[in-house]
Structure 1
Amino acid sequence: MIMMASLFSIFEPTSSIMSMPFNWLSTFLVFLFIPYTYWSSPSRWYLLWNKINYALHTEFKVILGTSKQTGTIVFVSMFSFIVFNNSLGLLPYVFTSSSHLVMTLALSLPLWFTLMIYGWLNHTQHMFAHLVPQGTPALLMPFLVIIETISNLIRPGTLAVRLAANMMAGHLLLTLMGGMGPSVSTLILVILLSSQILLLLLETAVAVIQSYVFAILSTLFTSEIN
């Protein structure tokens, strides 16, 4: 129990100066990169990031439909915010805020509540019809209504848990492998370091993929509210 508590303590925001917690400030480091684009000349990375944003805007626009083109900025911004936080969490001594349900739920719950309120107030008939797919036998309708209702209620939880769990799993594995270093031989240490480098590359890919998954699922949920 003590070992597990110390293992998961890396995800606890306990760093502070004069009783002021500083770990969660890493979440706002993303805003330091925004002014950089206004006074510096465009670099290759900046042009690449613009192309990624344009590609996401085009994809989200197709999913949302022609009547909701302006709404894509919300999901592109959400993707950018999450991918920056995931990437910053890979740096040493930077707190990974996206590995906590506090942050991921703060992103998914308001979006889900907004969609539900908007859908039930403006498209009530469509929301009721969505609970029962077309062509469903009358005998199965009550069960499908229950299943669809539960599926709809757990959506913000699944979005939050998916992002937090994926970010936490890789960091835990890196911590476990790093803790083995002082007690292994030189040959095992070389293999361990090589494995950690490969795992870090994998975590970089996971940071981008999970940001995209969160944004695309949010877009798909929004497209159902017509």
Structure 2
Amino acid sequence: MDERAPLQVVALISGSGSNLQALMDAQRQGAPIRLQAVISNTAEAYGLERARHQGIPTEVLSHRGYADRDAFDADLAALIDRHNPELVVLAGFMRILTPGFVNRYAGRMMNIHPSLLPKFRGLNTHQRALDAGEREHGASVHFVTAELDGGPVIIQARVPVLADDDAGSLAARVLKQEHRLYPTAVGWFAEGRLRLGEDGRAHLDGRALQAPMLMEAAAAPEPAPS
């Protein structure tokens, strides 16, 4: 029997926290993780309410009033470290992080991004995919490095771009895949199967990933008996 203790996780959010909810649901369903705290840079983030509903401690550290990013990130790191996390997950945390902060958590910080990286780093990914005439879009989980959305990609899920899609409909379809991707990647890390190697690549089950893992589309539900 695996006696591994649950992985201690701190989540950083800025908004609604739907990916946070996916991780909380995974924890409740037996995933070997324990969310120690949820930290937001905005007090209005609905994800804080989600966490409180599950009895998870919450913290707010507004970036407003700080002279620069380094000062904010130093206080954010001190707040995170109070909870002794083994993994920090960015779940819609809308801040560009300083290299010093990223290096502090090197190999133990992940992000989920709504595109098939390396395509469409940054914001407005769904509209940019439509404008570029992409036939496929999707989401990626990656280790965080100092390069914006540029860390080694662990796993991706793809969705088709439909002829009548707008940014909203495409985003909704991608979000469903995000909710499957993040618990999978965090679960691998918690089980000791996933790590960031010294070669700068994601390693799964002892092997460097030459390309991101691909999550298959969810099986369609079987029709109800007539």
Which has the larger helix fraction? 1
| TM-score between the two structures when normalised by the length of structure 2 | 0.29
**Higher RCO structure, 1 or 2 (CA under 8 Å, sep 6+):** 1
**Rg larger in structure:** 1
